[in-house]
C-alpha cells in the first residue's frame, strides 16, 4: 500500500506519518527531508530541487513497494502534478493508494506551531503569512481521501487513519 500524507506545512502530517510508520512498521519518506539533504550536499537551492525531491522519494517508494512493503510518503502534495505522481506510481506498482490529508482547524494552535517549529536541518521554516497564502491557493482535493484534524489527539488520529487504511476499496472501473 502507498500511503500519501498531504497538507500544508506545519499542519501535523509529519507527526502523523511517524506515528503511522511506527504502527505499521513501514518506511516513512519525507519530501522536505530529501530536498534539505540535497541542499546540505551542495546542490543549489536555485536548482529545481523541489521537483527532484518528489522524484527521489518516488523512486525510494517504488523500491519499498516492489519488495512488498507498505510505504508512507509525506509531503505538501498541493499541485495536481504531485498528486498524479502518486496515482501513477500506485498504478505502475499495482499498489493500493490511500491519501490522508492533514489539516489544523484551530488557527491559533496552527500559528503557534508555525512560529515555534524547528525540524529539518538546513530547511527554511515557513512563516504564518506564507502558510495563509498557500492555504488560499491550495487546490481542492478530488481524490478519495481521509481528512484528519491535528487538533484531535495523536492516538485518536492514528486510530482513525489505521481504520481508514483497513477499509476495503472498490475496484477501479
Per the structure block, which three cell numbers stand in for 135?
492555504
DSSP secondary structure letter of residue 55: H
- 173 within a domain of the structure (yes/no): no
Give, rounded to a whole angstrom, the gap between the first and last alpha carbons of the chain: 19
H helix runs in 25-166, sequence order: 31-40, 49-66, 80-92, 107-116, 128-137, 154-166
pLDDT reading at 91 higher than 90: yes
Choose between 45 and 154: higher pLDDT.
154
CATH classification of the domain holding 99: 3.40.50.300
Percent of the chain past pLDDT 70, that is, above it, reads 96
Q: What is the pLDDT of residue 171?
A: 56
pLDDT reading at 173 higher than 80: no
- 116 within a domain of the structure (yes/no): yes
Q: How many domains does the chain have?
A: 1
In the block, which residue shows the cell 499495482? 94
Q: What are phi and psi of 68, to 5 degrees?
A: 85, 15
- 151 within a domain of the structure (yes/no): yes
- 107 within a domain of the structure (yes/no): yes
pLDDT reading at 3 higher than 90: yes
Amino acid at each position: 500500500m502507498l500511503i500519501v500524507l498531504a497538507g500544508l506545512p506545519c499542519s501535523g502530517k509529519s507527526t502523523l506519518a511517524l506515528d503511522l510508520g511506527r504502527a505499521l512498521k513501514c518506511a516513512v519518506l519525507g519530501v522536505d527531508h530529501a530536498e534539505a539533504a540535497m541542499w546540505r550536499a551542495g546542490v543549489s537551492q536555485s536548482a529545481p530541487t523541489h521537483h527532484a525531491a518528489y522524484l527521489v522519494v518516488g523512486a525510494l517508494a517504488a523500491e519499498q513497494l516492489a519488495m512488498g512493503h507498505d510505504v508512507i510518503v509525506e509531503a505538501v502534495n498541493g499541485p495536481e502534478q504531485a498528486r498524479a505522481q502518486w496515482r501513477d506510481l500506485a498504478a505502475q506498482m499495482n499498489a493500493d493508494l490511500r491519501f490522508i490529508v492533514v489539516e489544523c482547524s484551530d488557527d491559533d494552535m496552527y500559528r503557534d506551531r508555525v512560529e515555534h517549529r524547528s525540524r529539518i536541518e538546513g530547511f527554511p521554516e515557513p512563516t504564518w503569512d506564507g502558510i495563509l497564502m498557500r492555504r488560499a491557493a491550495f487546490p481542492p482535493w478530488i481524490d478519495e481521501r481521509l481528512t484528519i484534524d491535528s487538533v484531535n489527539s495523536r492516538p485518536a488520529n492514528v486510530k482513525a487513519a489505521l481504520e481508514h487504511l483497513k477499509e476495503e476499496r472498490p475496484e477501479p472501473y
